[in-house]
A and B are shown apart, each in its own frame.
Chain A
Amino acid sequence: MNSKFKIRNSKLRILNLVLYFLLIGFTLAVLYPIVNVLSISLRPADRLLSTSLKIIPEGATFDAYRTLFTQTPFLLWFWNSSLIAAAVTITGVALASTAGYAFSRFNFYGKKSAMVGLLVTQMFPPTMLLLPMYIMLLKLHLINSYFGIIIIYTSTALPFCVWQMKGYYDTIPFSLEESARIDGSTRWGAFRRIVLPLAAPALVITALFSFMTAWAEYVVAAQVLQDTSLFTLPLGLKQFEASMSTQWGLYAAGSLIVSIPAVALFLFLSRWLISGLTLGSVKG
């Protein structure tokens, strides 16, 4: 009996060790590309193209970062991206918080089909709306304007945000509004002063999700923004990457700077994002 347990125990230990190695292997595979970019961003300009696998390159320097901010339009792109992302965030929150409330609290004609319709939009291939939108923008002379791209991004983020706001409102008890209304509050007042503050966590998620939709998007931006002075960060980074031999370091430095806010936000919101995703898809 005793020896049997021992065998089992040592077997278990070996299994655990194997699993640990597997886990560490995957973690390294995940980290390496990030380390690689970091390493390239530190290379001096004359050793950009090197075949060394050293993580801290010889003669490591922050020159790429300095050049990025002083000699390239990176700051302009950063400003453009921030502007677009901020506008998308504000419109996204305003539209999703009101529409989600209507979906949560009222039964009205067409409610169910509207909810399903929002889910179906997720199956559209990206070109399906982009092409007609692009042609419409061309005809309206709105190519190379932020208005067009802000509207497209907002509509991309909206279906998920409406579902997720509705899901959150559903958890807020109806009796709260009821008592507010007995105290003489209007319907809008009950929504604005009672429900909306309670839905703050969901509003934060909606805001972050809208922000991330707009912050580093390439496929739409590449068609709608063709004037270099209107470029957003992804378009600028792509330009650096295209001339790898001279601007690889700039690309690496830039992409790290662009990723940091996105990654930080994502890690912060991932918990809610996932529950929103599964909730939305299960209900659909």
Chain B
Amino acid sequence: MRDSTANPVGTSNPSMSFWDSEKLSPNMFAYLLMIPAAVVMFGVVVYPFFYNVVLSFSNMSLRHFKDWHIIGCRQYAQVFSGKIFYTVFFKTIVWTFVNIFFHVTIGVSLALILNKRLFGKAAIRTLLILPWAIPQVIVALTWRSMFNYEYGAINLFIAHFLGMSPVEWLGKPLEAFSACIITNVWLGFPFMMTIALGGLQSIPQELYEAADIDGASAWQKFWSVTVPLLKPVMIPAITLGIIWTFNNVNIIWLVSNGGEPSDQTHILVSYVYKAAFNLYRYGYAAALSMVIFAILLTFSLVFLKRTRASEAVY
């Protein structure tokens, strides 16, 4: 790495000039501290990233594993020319939107309730965090077994208490996709709840008192005090949540058992996972990964910029 007109933090402060007396320049020391992490990150993040870029322009597959060569943008062309990309992309958007919608509405509602003075609040809060605490693999496999047609708890409930005929959860595309969404909603709302609860607790009580003096109704207080003050806390959490949900292979892959029935339940990441590791279409999968990354990066930049801009309005 090049260096270095850079200075240690706080050299402007004369009392810290001792850094200068050191034989090893402070930057050298900083680099030394960084080297282990940098080497690892370079080896497993930077290098693979560029390798992935190269792969995305190549024809590598199981058949062309050793004799692969660069074929230009053909893999990208294949990504965008196939109809499947657009349907899977559409499903990914539905998946992300529905999940985040429920995560946020359920999470914030529960946080609002838990923010009141209630009996047994601490215990209930701990119980409500559990879905986030259980390893995702286990959540997914457990829900898969609960969606079993004959012996799964969901259908038994439906038959016992609702008296309706059982649903073929895992055998039909729409039902299987819903099953994945139900599972992911279950495991995702505690995150939003916890963040919202933190945000609510940081709202100064005086604001509500002032609103009371002005004769504001509970509804008005919610929209003009709670919402605007909760927003800056929730926006980063929602951004993060969208990225996580968009990129979540675990749930789709394990609940629908790799996209069953007949690859109808895929979202983009599970589709790439299958293309790469079950169909061995390495070049194609690499190109699709790049496309997904581009989508997410654009989204995050636009979303953060937009919301920051709107924050300035308040």
A174 → chain B closest CB, angstroms: 6
Q: With an 8 A cutoff between CB atoms, is A30 at the interface?
A: yes
A259 to B140, CA, bound (A): 13
Q: With an 8 A cutoff between CB atoms, is A89 at the interface?
A: no
Interface string of B35-69 (1 = CB under 8 A from A): 01110110111011101100100001000000000
Q: Classify the secondary structure of B's interface with A.
A: helix
Cross-chain contact of A125 among B38, B109, B113, B293 (Cβ < 8 A): B293
Stretch at the interface among A60-68, A71-79, A233-241: A233-241
Question: Among the interface residues B29, B34, B153, B268, which one has the most CB atoms of the partner chain A within 10 A?
Answer: B34
In the bound complex, residues from chain A placing their C-beta under 8 Å from that of B45 are 121, 129, 155
| Residues of B110-167 whose CB lies within 8 A of A | 110, 113-114, 116, 118, 124, 126-139, 141-146, 148, 150-151, 153, 156-157, 160
A117 → chain B closest CB, angstroms: 8
B153 → chain A closest CB, angstroms: 5
**Residue of B whose beta carbon sits closest to that of A238:** B141
Known: A51-B150, A51-B151, A98-B34. Contact between A158 and B41, CB under 8 A? yes
In the bound complex, residues from chain A placing their C-beta under 8 Å from that of B2 are 109
B52 → chain A closest CB, angstroms: 5
Known: A155-B44, A216-B137. Contact between A128 and B282, CB under 8 A? no
In the bound complex, residues from chain A placing their C-beta under 8 Å from that of B24 are 187
Q: With an 8 A cutoff between CB atoms, is B261 at the interface?
A: no
Q: With an 8 A cutoff between CB atoms, is B290 at the interface?
A: yes
**How many chain B residues have a CB neighbour from A under 8 Å?**
103
Asked if B18 contacts A127 (CB within 8 A), the reply is no
A187 to B23, CA, bound (A): 11
Cross-chain contact of A53 among B156, B195, B296 (Cβ < 8 A): B156
Q: With an 8 A cutoff between CB atoms, is A193 at the interface?
A: no
In the bound complex, residues from chain B placing their C-beta under 8 Å from that of A216 are 135-138
Known: A132-B286, A133-B48, A218-B254. Contact between A108 and B3, CB under 8 A? yes
The 5 closest A-B pairs by CB, nearest first: A216-B135, A99-B37, A281-B236, A106-B30, A266-B133
- Chain B residues with CB under 8 Å of chain A are 1-4, 6-10, 15-16, 18, 22, 24, 26-27, 29-31, 33-34, 36-38, 40-41, 43-45, 47-49, 51-52, 55, 60, 106, 109-110, 113-114, 116, 118, 124, 126-139, 141-146, 148, 150-151, 153, 156-157, 160, 186, 194-195, 198, 232-233, 236-237, 239-240, 243, 247, 249-250, 253-254, 268-269, 272-273, 276-277, 282, 285-286, 289-290, 292-293, 296-297, 300
Knowing that A98-B37, A131-B52, A263-B133 are A-B contacts, what are 16 other residue pairs whose CB atoms are under 8 Å apart, sorted by A's residue number?
A19-B113, A30-B127, A98-B36, A105-B8, A109-B1, A124-B247, A127-B269, A127-B289, A136-B51, A158-B40, A174-B9, A215-B135, A216-B135, A238-B254, A262-B134, A270-B132
**Sample (12) of A-B pairs whose CB atoms are under 8 Å apart:** A30-B186, A36-B146, A109-B2, A124-B49, A124-B293, A125-B268, A132-B51, A158-B41, A241-B145, A244-B148, A270-B129, A284-B236
